[in-house]
Structure 1
Amino acid sequence: MPTLLAVCAVHALRPDAGSQGVTAIDKRTVDGPVKVGPYGLRGDVQANRKHHGGLEQAVYAYGQDDADFWAGELGRELHPGWFGENLRVAGLDPNAARVGERWHVGERVVLQVTGPRTPCATFARWVGGADERGWVKRFGAEGRLGAYLRVVRGGEVRAGDAIVVDPAPQDAPTVLDRYRR
């Protein structure tokens, strides 16, 4: 059964060379229940709602299998939140999720898949800047992007919660299909 391994929120805003001057990509695990509302998790920050956030990108989910792949590629441990994700999941491939499918998380929360994460220069700088030249292309080409979700019904989530998927129609594009268009 798909499971929520970790819930992550911003640890600290970091200075960034991008147009906002700061980034909220530094996410860390939060213990206990976390409230989820229309703009995502309580205690989290969306520093740039134009490109990463808002109602349609309120929550970002990343798969443990993908994190394990990148840990091997980069030769370092990648803790939950390292990708800037709010939810680290197992038993579920966010890249194969169909746009429109709904994830029931825990007892009350319902999230709906809206599309892929598009890697950007802020993410490349977070990963390691000059040490990881070509990161945006590499991350995108590998197709291990993770999924953005909107909040259909709020509530609380916590690590260990089950995730039940209500599928979208089979002709709905996957997250990866949407990215590659």
Structure 2
Amino acid sequence: MADHARIHSVNIGTARPTEHSAPGLTGIDKRPVGGPVRVGAPERGSGVAGDAICDLRHHGGPDQAVYAYESEELAAWAEELGRELHPGVFGENLTTAGLPVSTALIGERWRIGDGPLLEVSSPRIPCRTFQGWLGERGWVKRFTERALPGAYLRVLEPGEVAAGDRVSVVHRPAHGVDVATVFRAMTTEPALLPGLLEVAELPEPIRDRARRRAAGGADGD
């Protein structure tokens, strides 16, 4: 990782009505905020102070406390789609710069400035709320084919985060399994699932799916 890796922006969302989510509300439209923001480990919901998560069945909690996406990928999508994409538009809490988020290893640990210690836990899987919010036809398929989904993070040590904070990778596990590989295993390449069993840092639902595939299940579901 380059020495210039940093937080480009910290983004939070408020609950807004939507017809694309079962609860009828979504916090996916996240916007940059000024000043330090407290990040901690939630029991439910977001780990970022002031951030709304409405579909608690599928989002939030300790393994999905924070969502990070890289500004470079956001810029690439903006060019491809021919539209402006502001930081936070993909629902990410942390928009990074100079940090290869989707190729980070599961279990990789990041120290943000002098603040929190975060651990990469799993990829983001696109849903109909995401597609409905962006309003792009076939968006879930396009996002899936790119296989650069950004990463969910656990909060191991709480603290404050602000735009411009340096990101230091302080631990990289030996297994070599990155976020993009897990994403492909869960979407387009289920044959990869058994290989995830060696990754102790994955959330238990993903490891359970890998066990079912290894035991002879058709696709791990």
Q: Shift of residue 106 of structure 1?
A: 1.5
* TM-score normalised to structure 2 length: 0.78
1:29 counterpart = 2:36 = no
1:83 to 87, 90, 100: 90
1:60 counterpart = 2:60 = no
Q: Which residue of 1 aligns with 2:132?
A: 125
* TM-score normalised to structure 1 length: 0.94
1:154 to 155, 158, 171: 158
Q: Shift of residue 170 of structure 1?
A: 3.6
CA distance in 1, matches of 2:78, 2:150: 15
Structure 1 or 2: larger strand share? Answer: 1
1:41 alignment partner, SS class: coil
Structure 1 or 2: larger helix share? Answer: 2
Q: Shift of residue 48 of structure 1?
A: 1.4
Sequence identity percentage? 48
Structure 1, gaps ≥5 residues long = none
Q: Shift of residue 73 of structure 1?
A: 1.0
Give CA deviations for 1:66-117 in whole Å, capped at 9, x if unaligned: 0011000111111111110000001111110000000100212111000100
Give the partner amino acid of 1:103.
Answer: W
Give the number of the structure with larger relative contact order, counting CA–CA contacts within 8 Å between residues 6 or more apart.
1
CA distance in 1, matches of 2:57, 2:176: 25
Q: Which runs of structure 2 are paired with 1:1-181 in the superposition (5 Å)?
A: 1-39=4-42, 40-128=47-135, 132-181=136-185
CA distance change for structure 1 residues 46 and 11 in 2, over 3 Å: closer, same or farther? closer
Structure 2, gaps ≥5 residues long = 186-221
Q: Shift of residue 12 of structure 1?
A: 4.2
How many aligned residue pairs are there?
178
CA contact (8 A) 1:14 1:26 kept: no
CA distance in 2, matches of 1:73, 1:110: 34
CA RMSD for the aligned pairs? 1.1
